[in-house]
């Protein structure tokens, strides 16, 4: 690649280190990387350094999550994407690279409600017989780069103001308690997924400190054709974001269209979701869609997709826009300060 692309990639690789996993839990630490030094084989005649719009300087992004905490997000989705298998599975995993020869697996998220309002039971307690993902399984997913989203405390979607506030707060605290072993003070959810797509939850979630909410039809920021990420000027604000249902859209065609749009300078992203991968997507289509995407746009194809969680995409965009870069060239050495 040329020197311009190389430096865009370098800055894209290092910029997110200012937001480590611990810092993402609202701890204010100094940046992990404050400057980048690049030594060229020869002295460049010109130098232009830009922040990569998508991490690893990828052309387009997709994200995938499931709602309601069904077990197959772990037993099928997580194993298929990451290659980290549990009993009965032997998936090799789906990968892209960081541009420096390191494999990175596809990631996914899960939007969970924690409690059954019908029989007053923890929905994710191992052995409860509900067919849901368990807290130990969610721990493994989180520890391997996947995200947990807040979907309200129960499956009820009552829109009475006090109930909505309670439902959001209670589920957040319940998740933190159950995942206390994963990270200091527990996993703090930062993305809210509106139960039943109920619009009134959006502003309540924002008032509770959530950086974004997800619901179908919220096309003000992400249209049905996807968001050109570089055109959104302020990521550091509450964002109500659209998503599309995996079983109602041609996912392979969407990836093809996003890759084509990149040739015109666009960097598109769309969140995709389902409820049950096995029954709703359904499984055969899910496997075929993402095998195609990995083969075509992953490490063994053009290697130009960023397939990760909504949380990582939003985190990267916030840090990208809030980070100021300066650079200088002395001989064949470039110094980029963050």
Tens-digit pLDDT profile for residues 45-93 = 999 999 999 999 999 999 999 999 999 999 999 999 999 998 889 999 9
169-184 per-position pLDDT tens digit: 999 999 999 999 999 9
Q: What is the DSSP letter of 195?
A: G
pTM: 0.91
In whole angstroms, what is the distance from residue 182 CA to residue 177 CA?
A: 10
Q: What is the pLDDT of residues 205-226, one digit of tens each?
A: 999 999 999 999 999 999 999 9
Q: Are 74 and 141 in contact (CB under 8 A)?
A: yes
| pLDDT value of residue 33 | 81
Give Cα separations from 184 to 29, 30, 32, 137, 147 (angstroms): 15, 18, 19, 18, 16
Q: Provide the pLDDT for residue 119.
A: 85
Residue 271, CA atoms < 13 Å, CB-side half-sphere: 31
**pLDDT at residue 30, as a whole number:** 63
If you write DSSP's letter for every residue of 300-325 in order, what string do you get? TTT--EEE--HHHHHHHHHHHHH---
Strand 244-245, strand 268-274: pairing: parallel
pLDDT(99) > 90: yes
Residue 271 vs residues 5, 286, 337: alpha-carbon distances, Å:
27, 15, 32
Contacts of 235 (CB under 8 A, 6+ apart): 314, 317, 318, 320, 321
pLDDT of residue 117: 85
Over the stretch 139-158, which tens digit does the pLDDT of each residue have?
999 999 999 999 999 999 99
pLDDT in tens, 277-334: 999 999 999 999 999 999 999 999 999 999 999 999 999 999 999 999 999 999 999 9
Q: What's the confidence (pLDDT) of residue 1?
A: 41
In whole numbers, what is the pLDDT of the chain averaged over residues? 92
d(Cα 80, Cα 89) in Å, to the nearest integer? 8
Percent of the chain with pLDDT over 70: 91
Distances (CA, A) of 137 to 83, 126, 132, 178, 192: 15, 9, 10, 11, 20
4-38 pLDDT per residue, tens: 445 554 555 555 444 444 344 444 556 678 899 99
Q: Is 23 helix (H, G, I), strand (E, B) or coil?
A: helix
- What's the order of all strands across the beta sheet hosting 326-330? 35-39, 333-337, 326-330
């Amino acid at each position: 690649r040329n020197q311009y692309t190389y430096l865009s990639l370098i800055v894209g690789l290092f910029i997110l280190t200012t937001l480590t996993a611990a810092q993402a839990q609202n701890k204010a630490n100094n940046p992990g990387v404050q400057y980048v030094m690049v030594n060229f084989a020869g002295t460049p005649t010109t130098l232009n350094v830009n922040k990569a719009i998508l991490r690893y300087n990828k052309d387009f992004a997709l994200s995938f999550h499931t709602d309601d905490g069904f077990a197959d997000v772990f037993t099928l989705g997580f194993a298929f994407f990451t290659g980290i298998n549990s009993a009965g599975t032997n998936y090799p995993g789906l990968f892209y690279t960081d541009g420096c020869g390191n494999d990175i697996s596809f990631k996914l998220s899960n939007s969970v409600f924690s409690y059954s309002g019908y029989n007053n039971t923890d929905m994710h307690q191992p052995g409860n017989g509900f067919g849901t993902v368990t807290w130990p399984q969610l721990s493994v997913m989180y520890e391997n780069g996947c995200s947990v989203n807040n979907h309200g405390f129960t499956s009820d979607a009552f829109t009475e103001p006090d109930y909505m506030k309670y439902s959001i707060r209670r589920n957040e605290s319940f998740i933190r308690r159950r995942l206390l072993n994963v990270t200091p003070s527990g996993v703090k959810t930062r993305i809210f997924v509106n139960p039943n797509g109920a619009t009134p939850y959006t502003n309540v979630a924002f008032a509770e400190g959530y950086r974004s909410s997800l619901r179908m039809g919220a096309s003000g920021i992400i249209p049905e054709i996807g968001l050109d990420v570089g055109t959104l000027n302020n990521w550091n604000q509450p964002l109500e974001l659209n998503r599309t249902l995996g079983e109602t859209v041609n996912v392979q065609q969407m990836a093809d269209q996003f890759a084509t749009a990149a040739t015109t300078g666009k960097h598109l992203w769309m969140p995709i979701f389902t409820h049950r991968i096995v029954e709703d997507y359904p499984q055969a289509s899910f496997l075929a869609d993402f095998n195609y995407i990995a083969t075509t746009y992953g490490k063994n194809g053009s290697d130009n997709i960023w397939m990760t969680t909504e949380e990582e995409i939003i985190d990267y965009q916030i840090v990208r826009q809030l980070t100021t870069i300066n650079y200088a060239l002395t001989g064949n050495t470039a110094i980029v300060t963050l």
